[in-house]
Homo-oligomer: A and B are copies of this chain.
Amino acid sequence: MKKPIVIKKGLSNDMRFDLKDGAGSDAIHVKPVYAYAVCKLVTDSDVEGVGLAFTLGSGNKIVCQAIEYLVKHVEGKEIYELMDTFGATYKKMADDPNFRWLGPHKGVVQLALAAVVNACYDLWAKAEGVPLWKLLIDLSPEQLVNTLDFSYYEDILPKQEAIALIKNQRAGITQRESIIQTGYPGYDTSIGWFNYTDEQVLRNVEEAMNNGFTAMKLKVGAQNPDRDIRRAELVRKIAGDKATIMFDANQQWNLPQAISVCTKLKELNPYWIEEPTHPDDVYAHVALAKAVDVPLALGEHVPNKIIFKNFIQSGCMSFNQVDAVRVGGVSEFLLISLLSRKFNIPVVPHVGDMGQIHQHLVLFNHITLGHPALLLEHIPHLRDYFKHPVLISDGKYQTPMEPGMSADLLQYEYSY
């Protein structure tokens, strides 16, 4: 019999981090300030849950205010009981009548939901004394799907079908578990931030390769496409033909521009082109995918399971970049991963969490759902702020072993 652990109080914290020397810059954010809207769950025990939503800039503050309201749904709840039927609580929070009009299921209220939901899963794993990946792979299919909300998935992935999908992946699990020892392959996002000079990019590519990375991403989406092409050619030249290279446009192109520039970038054999145009524009991505035969990676700014469902149904998404600190936390991430598995679309998350949480989730996706173990994004700029920063060795994420989801921050009391 486990000792009950009751959530006494939920707190929020607005944490922001200045980045230096062009780090983090993209086609939209010239001087980025990374920010976490943090939800902390204080209990009657010595464990506490910590959940993150990632944002950029001073708007982080209003996400924190939304957390303070939403977290009341879990205050007073016992954690094992809560997680036993978490899908129902998730739905109550997502449809709270004081917040629903502000979405539904998108924007500030959805980011706040992510932080609260993540704090619940973190607390659950800490209560069990295991890392999140271990908790998740040890759940029965029924226990797992009971933490998810299948509303509006009845037409495409009913709960029973999700259970069957998980059970069908049992063959090969032992083999896939070997990744716990070998580590999950990473890719380097920081070789080519938007503001970096060609010389910086050149040095970073060499350094990435020396550190064992064989995959790396360049920021594109310049007003002048010639700059994009020049930088892309530079990366391909230095990294060599065998390297895996991705280009990320951060939504900067309209459809005619996207078709034009992607046609040129395609010549450099990219593994994918990321966020070519507006993240809500399913039909523009479909048109682009038809016009240019290049894989598209989408989902960094897609807020919920419904729009993911549409992208998956549309056929234009080659790689699914769902981010557990943008959609409604681990719960919605897992549901979207299930649907993506059904349609054989690999999940390669965007890591607003700097990979801290997603290193757990991709292990679950690979081991339990049978997703291929492709690549997990690596961004090093906030590692000094985490209590248990990710460990990368020879380009691979080393499996985290501390209890929880590795989201605890140092300097926790530092806030706006």
| A280 near B105: Cβ-Cβ < 8 Å | yes
> CA of A102 to CA of B60 in the docked complex: distance in angstroms?
8
In the complex the two chains form, what is the Cα distance from A32 to B99 in whole Å?
12
CB distance from A299 to the nearest CB of B (A): 14
Check A106 for interface membership: any CB of B closer than 8 A: yes
How many residues of chain A get a CB closer than 8 Å to chain B's CBs?
61
- In the assembled complex, the Cα of A56 lies from the Cα of B101 at a distance in Å of 6
Q: Which residues of the partner chain B approach A314 to less than 8 Å between Cβ atoms?
A: 283
The answer for the CA separation of A154 and B104 in the assembled complex, in Å, is 28
Complex Cα distance, B97 from A169, in Å, reads 43
**Selected contact of A155 from candidates B57, B280, B282, B287, CB within 8 Å:** B287
Contact indicator A98/B57 (Cβ below 8 Å): yes
A214 on the B face (CB < 8 A) = no
A54 to chain B, nearest CB (A): 8
| CA of A99 to CA of B32, assembled, Å | 12
List, in ascending order, chain B residues with CB within 8 A of A406's CB: none
With A106-B107, A155-B256 already in contact, the answer to whether A97 and B56 are too (CB < 8 A) is: yes
Q: Does A210 contact B (CB under 8 A)?
A: no
Nearest chain B residue, comparing its CB with the CB of A282: B310
- Given the known inter-chain contacts A97-B29, A278-B306, please indicate yes or no for A55 contacting B154, CB distance below 8 A: no
Q: How far is the CB of A313 from chain B (nearest CB, A)?
A: 5
Q: Note all chain B residues with C-beta closer than 8 A to A95.
A: 28
Q: Is A182 an interface residue (CB 8 A)?
A: no
The stretch that binds B, out of A63-71, A78-86, A224-232, A339-347, is A63-71
Besides A59-B99, A107-B108, 6 new A-B residue pairs in contact (Cβ under 8 A), listed by A number: A29-B97, A57-B99, A152-B278, A155-B255, A280-B304, A283-B309
User: Residues of A at under 8 Å CB distance from B?
Assistant: 28-32, 54-59, 61-63, 65-66, 69, 95, 97-111, 151-155, 251, 254-257, 277-284, 287, 301, 303-304, 306-307, 309-310, 313-314
